[in-house]
Amino acid sequence: MIAAGLPPEIARRLDAELSKLTGRARSQAPDLSYLRGKRVLVTGAGGSIGSELARQLWHAQLEELVLLDRDESALHALQLQLEGRALMTSDELALCSIRDLDALENIFAAHRPQIVFHAAALKHLPLLEKFPAEAYKTNTLGTANVLQASRHAERLVNISTDKAAAPSSALGKSKYLAERLTAAYGKGKAYASVRFGNLLASRGSVVHSLYHQIVRERPVTITHPQAKRYLMTISEACSLLLEAARLGRDGQVLAMRMGNQVGVLELARTLMDILGREAPVEYTGLREGEKLSEQLFSPTEQPVAGPCPNLLSCQVPPLLPDQLSGLSTS
């Protein structure tokens, strides 16, 4: 299912429509053979991306899968989905904030993960514009902590966003700094950052909001009639992450060839057609830090063909934690 809270049939139909809207072919199933017998750790495992990634990794014949999150309820729900029970006694559950380096070091020392997927983040742009220090402390300093704790890992993927390209928001700036940190730690290693478009499966996604407004017969709120976004399904996102862990090098930034950006108004109309309902549209105006349309790379970045046909790649300037002084997201 591509969007939390949508009925499965609606989700399947919207998934099919997405290929038409973007003009993008469906991605191929990733090669998971490199994961066999490995110890893997996922930060933010209880979130939208982390939990779906955990479900796919669950069947990859790992030696160990460590699920790390600061939200105990999210870990409970994930264990229930994976194991059919949630006793919360497993050593593979780690309750920890990525802001706490000492706690991270202890967990990494105990489990010695060979592959790390870093999905923990704050992500809601309007709220982070009001609280930019929180974006910096979690998305930037928290990533520095994860990279430090992961220093002995063979592979690492830092999950980023297209908002890190020419960033105009606290969210984008904090994630761009995280990419630069990954570039510094990843020199000569199998590390990469992955820029995503808007994920239809994530909590609070645009599809989730539109669906609930339409079925409750409320006005559909859209920031601007020309607003456009890159859209991905959760399965595409996880396939990209798994490919990035296999192929990423030197802390490079990877992004999928996304095809066309989709108008948010067009997306709303598509969802209305699927639901067989109409709803009035209200334009609320772009919020602070928001762009009319997104881009995968900034004008100063020079993307080249990535390690496989559906990926593009660029390098960002490396940045070590001791160089963060004086930098901020505000």
Tell me how crowded residue 89 is: count the other CB atoms within 10 A of its CB. 7
- Residue 163 annotated among the catalytic residues of the structure: yes
Task: Report the C-alpha dihedral over residues 34, 310, 24, 116, rounded to 10 degrees.
Answer: 40
Q: Is 283 helix (H, G, I), strand (E, B) or coil?
A: strand
User: Are 303 and 310 spatial neighbours (Cβ–Cβ below 8 Å)?
Assistant: no
Q: Which helix (H) or strand (E) holds 143?
A: helix 142-149
| Angle of the 72-83 helix axis to the 48-57 helix axis, nearest 10 | 30
Spell out the residues 6+ positions from residue 202 whose beta carbon is closer than 8 angstroms to its own. 4, 47, 48, 49, 123, 234
From 163, 173, 189, 228, active-site residue: 163
Backbone angles phi, psi at 16, to 5 degrees: -65, -40
DSSP 146-194: HHHHTTT-SEEEEEEEGGGSS--SHHHHHHHHHHHHHHHHTTTSEEEEE
Match 């990494």 to its residue by tokens.
108
Written as six digits, the tokens of 155 are 């592979």
Catalytic residue positions, numbered: 163
